[in-house]
């Protein structure tokens, strides 16, 4: 199984400041045939299911604000929120869909400083 | 817009069977581009993909090794839904269970509302 490891486990950032979360996979999730990374990011608020933010490592899902961006390739990825808003308080997960079983990171709890 | 509506009991007895259903609106369980998944979430195990069913000229299933032998995911084309059965449950199976669509080029894009299932006598 591909193990996904996020850091940090929790993060406190001031409103309007940048927040960055990293995710490392135990093996590459890059498809060499089309140069796409099978890596997604989700946001989960209390009592709600996860919400897809980004797929193919850097493609924002429909309706996701452009302050959210994803980057990275191979085994190392980053989710960046360029200017933190109050509504961004949540737990964030990365997930690989390169090969089954499809695995998730342990989550990063993002709070306001 | 696509929606998934889960139903089923929130309590299961040890050694018995956990059964949940996911009704689909706005898409079709027989879609040739989607897969229909069950994922659970618990404090001890985090988010754990359990398995999927999908149609590509015929029906396929894949299951996580952690639950293989105890799990069955089945489509119901007449009701446009799919179901989860997990046998011989133990307290370790206590979790929030989600039904989830993987839509075409994207990954897990549509989630059900979640069902908290507690395994207890």
Nearest beta carbon to residue A49 from set B102, B106, B111: B111
Nearest beta carbon to residue B46 from set A42, A51, A104: A104
Taken as a whole, chain B contains a residue count of: 121
B40-84 residue pLDDT tens: 999 999 999 999 999 999 999 999 999 989 999 999 999 999 999
Q: Distance (Å, rounded) from C-alpha A8 to C-alpha A25?
A: 15
Question: Residue A84 has which token pair?
Answer: 């933190």
Which of A49, A60, A62 to substitute to test the interface with B, most B CBs within 10 Å? A49
Q: Is A104 on the interface with B (CB under 8 A)?
A: yes
Q: Is A52 on the interface with B (CB under 8 A)?
A: yes
B38 contacts B99 by C-beta, under 8 angstroms? yes
A66-89 residue pLDDT tens: 999 999 999 999 999 999 999 999
Taken as a whole, chain A contains a residue count of: 113
> A58-97: b or e for each residue (b if 16 or more CB lie within 10 Å)?
bebbeebeeebbbebeebebbbebeebeeebbbbbbbbbb
A30 contacts A37 by C-beta, under 8 angstroms? yes
Residue B108 to residue A51, Cβ atoms within 8 A: no
């Amino acid at each position: 199984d591909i193990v996904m490891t996020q850091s940090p486990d929790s993060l406190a950032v001031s409103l309007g400041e940048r927040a960055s979360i990293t995710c490392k996979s135990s093996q590459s999730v890059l498809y060499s045939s089309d140069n796409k990374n099978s890596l997604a990011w989700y946001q989960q608020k209390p009592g709600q299911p996860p919400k897809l933010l980004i797929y193919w490592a850097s493609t924002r899902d429909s309706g996701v604000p452009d302050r959210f961006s994803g980057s990275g390739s191979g085994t190392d990825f980053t989710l960046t929120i360029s200017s933190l808003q109050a509504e961004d308080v949540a737990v964030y997960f990365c997930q690989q869909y390169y090969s089954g079983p499809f695995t998730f990171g342990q989550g990063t709890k993002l709070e306001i400083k | 817009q696509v929606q998934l509506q889960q139903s089923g009991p929130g309590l299961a007895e040890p050694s018995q069977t956990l059964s949940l259903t996911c009704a689909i609106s706005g898409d079709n369980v027989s879609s040739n581009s989607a897969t229909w998944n069950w994922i659970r979430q618990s404090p001890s195990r985090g988010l754990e993909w359990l398995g999927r069913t999908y149609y590509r000229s015929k029906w396929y299933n894949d299951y996580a090794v952690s639950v293989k032998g105890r799990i069955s995911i089945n489509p119901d084309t007449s009701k446009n839904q799919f179901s989860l059965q997990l046998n011989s449950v133990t307290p370790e199976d206590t979790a929030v269970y989600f039904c989830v669509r993987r839509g075409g080029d994207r990954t897990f894009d549509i989630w059900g509302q979640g069902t908290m299932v507690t395994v207890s006598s």
